[in-house]
Amino acid sequence: MMSQMPQQAAVSKCPSCEEPLESGDRFCGACGYDLSAVPPRPDDHPAVAAGGAVPAPAPAPDGVDWPAARDSDGQGRPVPVHAAAELPGTDSGGSPLPPPPAAPPVPPSAGVRFDRPGEPEEYPLQAPDPRLDTAAAPRSDSPAAPAPGAKVCVACRAGRVDDDGYCENCGHAQPRERDHMEQESGPVAAVSDRGLRHHRNEDAFSVGCTTLPDGAPASVAIVCDGVSSATRPDDASLAASRAAGESLLTALPRGTHPQQAMHDAILAASHAVNALADEPATAREQGPHQNAPACTLVGAVVTAGLLVVGWVGDSRVYWVPADRATPPARLTEDDSWAAQMVAAGLMSEAEAYADDRAHAITGWLGADAYELEPHTASFKPDRPGVVVVCTDGLWNYAESAEEMADAMPLDAAVRPLHGARVLVGHALDGGGHDNVTVALVPFPAVPQGAGSA
């Protein structure tokens, strides 16, 4: 029988990574495991009972009941490491520590979570939701609900707008009704816009259609530009445009000649603007060095065979024929410093309009105007076209007749509202330094009922 050689005792291994350990190691050289926390392995090997069962290990020499380490997976991967909270602790005397107090619940908003619940479809508004029942009694700390028919703030949709144009709830200034205006009356259309630099729109217009005593159609367009250096320029332009428009639409059906009707309409507009100087509102706003309310005016009357224009100031009328191969024309002369310099032969038109004084007007409607001299002129175009009635907010960006014709769509005669929008857009694209207003009137006059396509 072969004698058996005594086997060398196996070298102990790190309980964490199972790397071999040297005698006397206090830390594992591979993973740094603290070997002082592991009881020394007994010198004698446990006896293996018949059937392969391993008897229960003897208690550790230091009397601490350590939990049995979990086995490795057999592939050489380390035994899982216990987190500190998984093991019972002891105080310095060896007594068990009391369980830690339960952590307070963490609010959902703390930190960043990717498993947060679905967000609501709508967030609560600071102001009451206008879709809710407005008949419900408002809270004591909420603004009173607007009365039926009262203007509601465009920002919070809940507060009432006061007489100064501000919301009583959130304080937002409300857009003025005149910031952008559009109107289509049969074949005539007009568009007015505040522009990009002014805080309000001081332009106004009036358009309409009527019939002459013989039943022939007539179209009317009036455009006014408030003088910004005067008091209440927006009220002046509105009063003038309304007075002139009403005067024309009243006089033409009675048989008044269109040129005489235009002259009388300018006088009516002048009286309307002069009357503003005596109103209390003007007295409140007028400073010691301010002028009375004032504006300019330009207008056109188009019949089946006649085109009449009238003006005071520097707003203009252009003629653009439907056949763009024929030349367009400007039909008015400005009441301005530049026009006077050109008429006197002191400057060329290019030099005069390049001067800083070019747009200083020499004629206007207002109580402090010089002697009023309404300008009127009549034309008999021999071909169809479109009459452009506009303020300098447009012609500053299309000064010559050719430039105005190039900016106007080819179908403006059948789609005047679209054409007016395009021309206003042309001015805004160019900078929009002033209020912009334009009215388009097809020639010859189109019978009522024939509007834009």
Average pLDDT of the segment spanning 271-284: 84
For residue 346, pLDDT over 70 is answered with: yes
Q: Quick one: pLDDT band at residue 130, thresholds 50, 70, 90? A: very low
Amino acid 320: pLDDT: 98
For residue 418, pLDDT over 80 is answered with: yes
Amino acid residing at 125 = L
Contacts of 13 (CB under 8 A, 6+ apart): 19, 20, 21
Distance CA 372, CA 272 (A): 14
Average pLDDT of the segment spanning 171-193: 89
Can you tell me which residue has the tokens 């102001």?
Answer: 127
SS (H, E, C) 157-181: CCCEECCCCEECCCCCECCCHHHEE
Task: Burial-class residue 391 by CB neighbours within 10 Å (0-12, 13-18, 19+).
Answer: buried
Q: Quick one: pLDDT band at residue 364, thresholds 50, 70, 90? A: very high
Amino acid 106: pLDDT: 42
Q: What is the pLDDT of the chain when averaged over all its residues?
A: 78
Q: What is the pLDDT of residues 73-116, one digit of tens each?
A: 455 454 444 444 444 444 445 566 555 555 445 444 333 333 33
Distance CA 227, CA 239 (A): 13
For residue 327, pLDDT over 80 is answered with: yes
For residue 141, pLDDT over 80 is answered with: no
For residue 123, pLDDT over 60 is answered with: no
Element (H, E) at 203: strand 203-211
Q: What is the pLDDT of residues 27-44, one digit of tens each?
A: 777 777 777 665 555 444
Q: Quick one: pLDDT band at residue 272, thresholds 50, 70, 90? A: very high
Q: Quick one: pLDDT band at residue 11, thresholds 50, 70, 90? A: low
Average pLDDT of the segment spanning 391-413: 97
Task: For residue 78, say if its preceding peptide bond is cis, omega within 30 degrees of 0.
Answer: no
